[in-house]
Structure 1
Amino acid sequence: MPRFEGIERLVVIVGCQRSGTSLSGEVIGAHPNVLLIDETDGLMRWADALLAGSEEAEALYGPTLARAAEKYRRPKERVAGRDGVAVPAPGITHLALKAPNLTYNATQLAALDIPVSVIYPVRDPRSVVVSMAAIGSIDMVANQLERMKGDPAIAAVHAEDIAYIEDPATPMHLKRARVWRAKSTAQASFERAGLDPYVFRYEDFVEDAGPYTVHLANHAGLVWHEDMIEHPRVMRGQGPGLLNRNRGIDTRSVEKWRDRLSIEQERNILALCGEAMARIGYTPTPALRTPPAPRFPDDVLASPVIVTGRGGSGTRLISDIVAGSGVFLGNRLNKSSDSLEWVDMIYEMAIKAHAAHYTIEAREIEAWRHLFRLTADNILQKGGFREGGLWGFKLPETVLAIPQLLDVFDNAKIVHLVRHPVTCCARRTHMTSRPDNLVGRTVCHAAYRAAGREAAKLRTDHDFMRNALTWLYQVPPVARLGRELGPDRYLEVRFEDIIGQPDIVARNVRDFLGDGAGLAPAPEIDDSRTSFAIDPEWEERIWAVCGDAAREIGYSRSFDCQGDGQEKMLREDRRDVRFP
């Protein structure tokens, strides 16, 4: 097939990583005439072949399009099939390439035999440095160094940057800042190549996105469409980095760096990047001052109730019971009763805890201790929390970071929901068992490594197998750690018990929480979550993976979703099941 059949223009989104390239891609990619291709779709392998004039680009084109369509709620409107090969669907006239790594390739992009529009977001380097640090499973500095050195012409242009980054005496936050400086000030290379980039500040965009979506459409040669501002209704799942495609545009990330950088780090970044910042519209003036002391005493901030459980186990039910007992779980909860104010921080911690080549050092734990308690103080103040009450947070992903959270909150209590592995793993997948997002990809690779299973099988294994291996990786370690904490700080609650006798579970939760807790009303139960057919082969294979660990927790091979059969092991007092 012709290389760009039906495609009138490429829209290439460049700039520095963590500068708004993903958000720009979401907005443009939501347009009805556009197909967005991300790095996770195989973009760079195809793009490198395309720019090199390699015949491999032809072979990679169809599979890349097919993967790109998976991010859409209606993929058939973006990609069609012809003779078993993926091609752009009728009406798709633009391919949007979210490709910050192509910032170095202005000349090659201009030489393509198709019109190219360049979108170039920029962002405050202090935010970028902090955002890079949050993605522990990706060494962005090493990746950019490899990209700079991979082409002699690019290496010559960036010789000083390469030397600065490779110097072992350079602190990591300044290496990241140097990457920002190299990539956020390369607009002139596109202008010299005849490609007029549309440059805009990320902070301005999120403050008032409407006008910028119009500018983006115009620059890309598109007629503005309302889907660009409503992109969550077009996209689904998780995008590159920690992008949640279901979340709209907000400003929460703009000032996050203030809590992450020290006064000295900020001044170092400004000294390195100040001139470049001024050229692209930023004021390089220090903003950090010594923060005010927390309002709440340290013993309060050190004592949350952490509600967790493997995602897909019915964690909303235990969250509702805990909240109904009088525990303040935050100011913003979603329909699953997740504490959204903690999402970014917990995800960062979880990724770093399970990344293959990342070691969490004591100084990072100490920095987290300060940051998490400061965040807790802000949340409690905003929610009108009064000292003497109970507070905490609930996220399924905290199951991945319990040891680190216990270092941060050294008087925390853990409420851990467990569920029979067969009924848990035979259901739908959770983000932590899908490699289509950064958290899930990190956890899946870690789970497969721990089980001695080849990572290549991640894409071919059935959902139930990935569910089983990630259940095995997530649930038993927390249960073991909980038994070390003891019954005063760890409560294990069975999903089956909530279904069978929620009133007894509510009393156990109240007794565990102690003074200040009340008796929660019985939660509403969705019968569709407890009654479904399970393929006998799935059951056999899930139990083969999880059975030994499940027995340690107290489960046997048989199960009863209704909580009134063999698996009902509920007593008025809390169980203390010992591991052999």
Structure 2
Amino acid sequence: MQSFSHALGAAGDAQLVLVSGAPRTGIAALAGQLAQHPDALLVDGTNTQALVWLSCLIDEPDHLESLQLEMEAQLREIHGAIPAQAPTHLILPVQGLIADPVLQDKLLVSNLSGRMRLLLTQRGRNDTMASLARFPHLQPDLPDPHHHQGAYLVAADQLLTEARAQVNHLQSQWASAGLTWFLVNFEALTSNPDLRLSQLRKQLGLRHLESEERQPRRRGISLSVCCRERKIDASSVGRWQRQLDIQMASSEDITSSAPLTPGEPNQPPVILTGRGGSGTRLLAEVCMGFGLHLGDSLNRSLDSLQWVDLIYEAVLTNLAGHANPWRGSWAAELRNRARWHRSAHTPLDQPWGFKLPEAMLVGQELMEAWPKAKLVHLVRHPLDVCLRRTHMTSRTTNPIGRATLGAAYRALGRNLDPQIDPPHWRNAVSWWFQLSRMQSYKHRSGHRILEVRYEDLCDHTTAAAAKLARELNLQTSSIQLQVDAERRRRWEPDDPHIAEIWDLCGPIASLYGYTLES
């Protein structure tokens, strides 16, 4: 099977695993982990995509094929192949199901009832409220948690009370109808995720996997903000105690178990970044070759997955213009994440860091969290970056791209919808905006920012790598990079878009030694 729509169409009588619950109780995380099974397919997306598909499956099955093709165009695959065999289970994160009594009633009387399994997530109220506060864009009706915490706590408590009542009603409905449902407690899941996930897969009828069959990546389609390949852990349990005011303690529902926090790393981090599509994977290869530990969970681009959710939410909050969340508790949250993801497998004195292209959107805030951190910025000629496929930060099909382009268009005074502009222009605006931010960081903390040109890394690998190792105080070693020459330049000199891109990006590009001819 080569496409999402084909795989979904071939699912036939596959089990429908509906994952629902109150907001921020682990729905997407649980669904993503279940979908790592090679027989499962994740049907996820922005807003109500999975709910729309489910509703169409009941009411308009003749339109399913066209809807699946439409979803194919709207959604993108994240890190993983579509199952080669027809999936036996479809995993649908459908938070909105608890608030949709019409769809609930239809499901109960539909011919799908025998195929459905319902997972309801629950989580300690305080941690749920703290998680809601970290994603203000997901609940725009709630008061600003940074400026009006008292009002926020009252409103969030009411929202969660209503959501829990909806969850209880849905659970009661399914129990009365004799349908299969399971309650998944977030704290229990994080205490022993491997065991609990194994039990859930068995209860859902997913076949047992031998160790060599286990897949490191989930399978399916998603536009989720966070890359849910990061393993489930307890680093967010008890997080409310580090994030929100002590008045949270007045709530009746207090999470009793705070996460274990192993020893503090002995060295500040090295943060690797660069506009996505610039070749940051090569930069990561070089630094890892010098003994820099970038984490235990890396994707094919060598992005440090355990930092994705924290950095992405910071980017969204920062670009939305909310009050800066990095002062105080957020800086502590970053350092707590570092304790969680280093000391279990690496010595505390080993050089460490993480690589994530989108980190350059909050570079200054990261350096404030670690006053002695070094930020390595990989830069590449804008024509090579802009005259190629779009990157997450130049697409309107995901929250990071929408936030980046929105802020960039405002900075340019461009009052148009980015969706109507062609890809090369969105690439150029994204490049210009992100490199402009890096220039502003240099004015404040220039001695802590190291710049590496992609072209130098490819053409003068030994010299460029040795210079980087000296500046980072890393042990040098022989570096051999595999560079695909055909990928270095995929545009033609007579491309009509060159002048438009250079007019915007040229002034900043010249600061890095680039010219239109180079």
Q: 1:394 aligns with which of 355, 359, 362?
A: 355
* Aligned mates of 1:166, 1:390 — CA distance in 2: 38
Whether the 8 Å contact between 1:327 and 1:390 is mirrored in structure 2 is yes
Q: In structure 1, the residue corresponding to 2:153 is in which secondary structure?
A: coil
* Aligned mates of 1:416, 1:234 — CA distance in 2: 30
Q: Which has the higher contact order (CA 8 A, sep 6+)?
A: 2
Deviations 1:78-100 (A, max 9, x none): 9xxxxxxxxxxxx8999865321
Query: Are residues 1:344 and 2:309 paired?
Result: yes
Whether the 8 Å contact between 2:24 and 2:128 is mirrored in structure 1 is yes
Whether the 8 Å contact between 2:19 and 2:121 is mirrored in structure 1 is no
Give the aligned partner of residue 4 of structure 2.
none
Give the aligned partner of residue 151 of structure 1.
none
Whether the 8 Å contact between 1:307 and 1:319 is mirrored in structure 2 is yes
Q: In structure 1, the residue corresponding to 2:273 is in which secondary structure?
A: strand
Amino acid in the other structure paired with 2:442: G
Offset of residue 263 of structure 1: 9.9
* Aligned mates of 1:212, 1:133 — CA distance in 2: 30
Please say which of residues 60-69 and 194-203 is displaced more in the overlay. Answer: 60-69
Give the aligned partner of residue 446 of structure 1.
407
Q: Percent identity?
A: 24
Give the aligned partner of residue 304 of structure 1.
269
Give the aligned partner of residue 240 of structure 1.
224
| Alignment gaps of 5+ in structure 1 | 79-90, 144-164, 218-222, 274-283, 560-580
Q: 1:16 aligns with which of 22, 26, 30?
A: 22
Deviations 1:232-272 (A, max 9, x none): 7673564434143xx38x332x4422345349869947843
Amino acid in the other structure paired with 1:240: S
Whether the 8 Å contact between 1:177 and 1:269 is mirrored in structure 2 is no
Offset of residue 400 of structure 1: 1.2
Deviations 1:86-127 (A, max 9, x none): xxxxx8999865321120233552146633446132232255
| Alignment gaps of 5+ in structure 2 | 1-8
Is the alpha carbon distance of 1:179 and 1:345 closer, same or farther for their aligned partners in structure 2, counting shifts above 3 Å? farther
Is the alpha carbon distance of 1:379 and 1:170 closer, same or farther for their aligned partners in structure 2, counting shifts above 3 Å? closer
Alignment RMSD, CA only? 4.6
Deviations 1:512-570 (A, max 9, x none): 33xx44435344131246544314134344324422332344321123xxxxxxxxxxx
Offset of residue 384 of structure 1: 0.9
Give the aligned partner of residue 368 of structure 1.
330
Is the alpha carbon distance of 1:46 and 1:134 closer, same or farther for their aligned partners in structure 2, counting shifts above 3 Å? same
Is the alpha carbon distance of 1:61 and 1:305 closer, same or farther for their aligned partners in structure 2, counting shifts above 3 Å? same
* Aligned mates of 2:199, 2:175 — CA distance in 1: 28
Whether the 8 Å contact between 1:315 and 1:396 is mirrored in structure 2 is yes
* Aligned mates of 1:193, 1:466 — CA distance in 2: 52
* Aligned mates of 1:141, 1:333 — CA distance in 2: 36
Offset of residue 494 of structure 1: 0.9
Q: 1:508 aligns with which of 467, 482, 497?
A: 467
Deviations 1:335-357 (A, max 9, x none): 53433443332222222222x36
* Aligned mates of 1:558, 1:426 — CA distance in 2: 15
Is the alpha carbon distance of 1:517 and 1:226 closer, same or farther for their aligned partners in structure 2, counting shifts above 3 Å? closer
Give the aligned partner of residue 478 of structure 2.
521
Query: Are residues 1:181 and 2:168 paired?
Result: no
Amino acid in the other structure paired with 2:257: A
Amino acid in the other structure paired with 2:224: P
Is the alpha carbon distance of 1:492 and 1:34 closer, same or farther for their aligned partners in structure 2, counting shifts above 3 Å? closer
Offset of residue 509 of structure 1: 1.9
Mapping of residues 159-198 of structure 1, within 5 Å: 168=151, 170=153, 174=157, 177-178=160-161, 181-188=164-171, 190-191=173-174, 194=177, 196=179, 198=181
Query: Are residues 1:124 and 2:123 paired?
Result: yes
Whether the 8 Å contact between 1:137 and 1:358 is mirrored in structure 2 is no
Give the aligned partner of residue 101 of structure 1.
96
Give the aligned partner of residue 213 of structure 1.
201
Is the alpha carbon distance of 1:169 and 1:341 closer, same or farther for their aligned partners in structure 2, counting shifts above 3 Å? closer
Larger radius of gyration: 1
Q: In structure 2, the residue corresponding to 1:491 is in which secondary structure?
A: strand
* Aligned mates of 2:292, 2:218 — CA distance in 1: 36
Whether the 8 Å contact between 2:40 and 2:87 is mirrored in structure 1 is yes
Deviations 1:118-147 (A, max 9, x none): 61322322553344344343227649xxxx
* Aligned mates of 2:236, 2:341 — CA distance in 1: 14
Q: How many residue pairs get matched?
A: 485
Is the alpha carbon distance of 1:119 and 1:269 closer, same or farther for their aligned partners in structure 2, counting shifts above 3 Å? farther
Mapping of residues 461-480 of structure 1, within 5 Å: 461-480=421-440
* Aligned mates of 1:534, 1:420 — CA distance in 2: 12
Whether the 8 Å contact between 1:347 and 1:439 is mirrored in structure 2 is yes
Whether the 8 Å contact between 1:13 and 1:120 is mirrored in structure 2 is yes
Amino acid in the other structure paired with 1:235: R
Whether the 8 Å contact between 1:447 and 1:469 is mirrored in structure 2 is yes
Is the alpha carbon distance of 1:465 and 1:104 closer, same or farther for their aligned partners in structure 2, counting shifts above 3 Å? same
Q: In structure 2, the residue corresponding to 1:181 is in which secondary structure?
A: helix
Whether the 8 Å contact between 2:379 and 2:453 is mirrored in structure 1 is yes
* Aligned mates of 1:351, 1:285 — CA distance in 2: 27
Q: In structure 2, the residue corresponding to 1:399 is in which secondary structure?
A: helix
